[in-house]
Amino acid sequence: MYETSYHRASSVDDAQSKMKAAEDGKFLGGGMTLIPTMKQRLAAPTDIIDLAHVGDMKGIKADGSGITIGGGVTHSEVADSADVKAAIPALSYLAGLIGDPHVRNRGTIGGSVANNDPAADYPSACLGLGATIITNQRQIAADDFFVGLFETALNEDEIITAIHFPKPAKAGYAKFPNPASRYAMAGVFVAETGGDVRVAVTGAGNDGVYRESALEAALGGSLSVGAIDGISLDASNMMADMHGSSEYRANLVKVMAKRAIEAA
């Protein structure tokens, strides 16, 4: 790790002003990606602004329209939340699949979504459920938020304070983990919300999380396994690496989509 300065933010405003004062600052959520990256000397921010103690970013709120989860809420809090289990059980299930217990106890939903790792789980839930990303500056629809690999619509000093997930009629998630990293090689989040079906895929696309239009078109307005049985997905837009070819990932997306539908 290179030398860096650590700052603990007391509020969202405090975090933002600390970021403005920093030469090359980075917000720190749970640190589950940033700290290992810094330890490998692949990132060298001059300043770290720790959001873990910002009270405004805590808590999970349920209302008739859905669930709002604070940006500083950990994966294990989402996995264990009775409100999330009642409203969107697929989201609770997804959170319980992230990393291992250590990661889930430290990592936060805001940190994960802001990082937009192309194989992270949460981006598929945001896109699949049509979530709204709430920042200290504005509200961004998930459709507009995820720009590319590790790229989002966030500005440098913008902080995800909360994410609102509308309550779906049905939703399901299925993940095939990379055997080594246990990130998704194909994670598929399916949701039916108000007659609208979304199929969001993480881990497999070569440009990060995306909606699989071939599957959405086949499904039409409702979730049924039979509707996608005959579909064969185009491998040309899939990621390929030593763990899986694009053809293999195309197969996994379809298989995981079926399993997500069965789980919904």
Partner 1 sequence: MSEGIGARVLRKEDKRFISGKGKYTDDVIEINQAYAAFVRSPHAHAKINGINKQAALDAGAVAVLDGKELTGDGIGNIICGWMIHSKDGSPMNMGAWSALATEYVRYVGDAVAIVIADSQAAARDAAEMVEVDYNVLPAVIKADKALEDGSPQLHPEAKNNLIFDWEIGDAAATDAAFADAAHIVEMDITNNRLSPNPMEPRSAVATYDASEEHYTLYTTSQNPHVARLVLSAFYQVAPEHKLRVIAPDVGGGFGSKIYIYPEEIACLWASMKTNRSVKWTSDRTEAFLTDAHGRDHITNAKMAFDANHKLVGVKVDTIANLGAYMSLFSSATPTYLYATLLSGQYNVPNIHGNVRAVYTNTVPVDAYRGAGRPEATYLLERMMETSARELGVDPIELRRKNFVQEFPHQTPVIMCYDAGNFEAHLDGALEAIDYKGFEARRAESASRGKLRGIGTSCYIEACGIAPSAAVGSLGAGVGLWESGEIRVNPVGTVEILTGSHSHGQGHETTFAQLVSERFGLPTDNVQVIHGDTDKVQFGMGTYGSRSGAVGMSALVKALDKVEDKAKKIAAHLLEASDSDIVIEGGEVKVAGTDKKLGWHEVCLAAYTGHNLPEGMSPGLKEDAFYDPTNFTFPSGTYICEVEVDPETGKTDVLAFVAADDFGTIINPMIVEGQVHGGLAQGIGQALLEEVVYDDDGQLLTASYMDYCMPRADDVPNYQVSHYKTECPGNPLGMKGCGEAGAIGSPPAVINAITNAIGNNNLSMPASPQKVWAAIQASGSKQAAE
List residues near partner 1 by CB under 8 A: 1-3, 40-41, 176, 179-181, 242-245, 248, 251-252, 255
Structure tokens at 231: 């579909």
Backbone dihedral angles phi then psi of residue 114, each to the nearest 5 degrees: -65, -35
Report the distance separating Cα 117 and Cα 70, nearest Å: 19
Which lies closer to partner 1 via its Cβ, residue 1 or residue 141? 1
Report the distance separating Cα 52 and Cα 9, nearest Å: 8
Nearest distance from C-beta of residue 132 to partner 1, angstroms: 31
Which lies closer to partner 1 via its Cβ, residue 40 or residue 236? 40
Report the distance separating Cα 188 and Cα 124, nearest Å: 7
Nearest distance from C-beta of residue 186 to partner 1, angstroms: 9
DSSP state of 227: G
Which lies closer to partner 1 via its Cβ, residue 104 or residue 164? 104
Nearest distance from C-beta of residue 237 to partner 1, angstroms: 18
Q: At what angle do helices 89-97 and 246-263 cross, to 10 degrees?
A: 140
Which lies closer to partner 1 via its Cβ, residue 9 or residue 38? 38
Rounded alpha-carbon distances, angstroms, from residue 240 to 64, 122, 157, 182, 246: 41, 21, 33, 16, 5
Which lies closer to partner 1 via its Cβ, residue 119 or residue 131? 119
Nearest distance from C-beta of residue 242 to partner 1, angstroms: 5
Quote the Cα angle for 80-85-89, to 5°: 120
Sign of CA dihedral 126, 81, 75, 181: negative
Contact 134, 164 (CB under 8 A): yes
Nearest distance from C-beta of residue 46 to partner 1, angstroms: 15
Counting every residue written for the chain, the total comes to 264
Nearest distance from C-beta of residue 248 to partner 1, angstroms: 5
Nearest distance from C-beta of residue 62 to partner 1, angstroms: 32
- The Cα diameter of the chain in Å comes to 56
Report the distance separating Cα 162 and Cα 98, nearest Å: 19
Nearest distance from C-beta of residue 255 to partner 1, angstroms: 4
Which lies closer to partner 1 via its Cβ, residue 202 or residue 251? 251
Which lies closer to partner 1 via its Cβ, residue 9 or residue 185? 185
Which lies closer to partner 1 via its Cβ, residue 196 or residue 262? 262
**Closest to 184 in 3D by CA, of 198, 201, 200:** 201
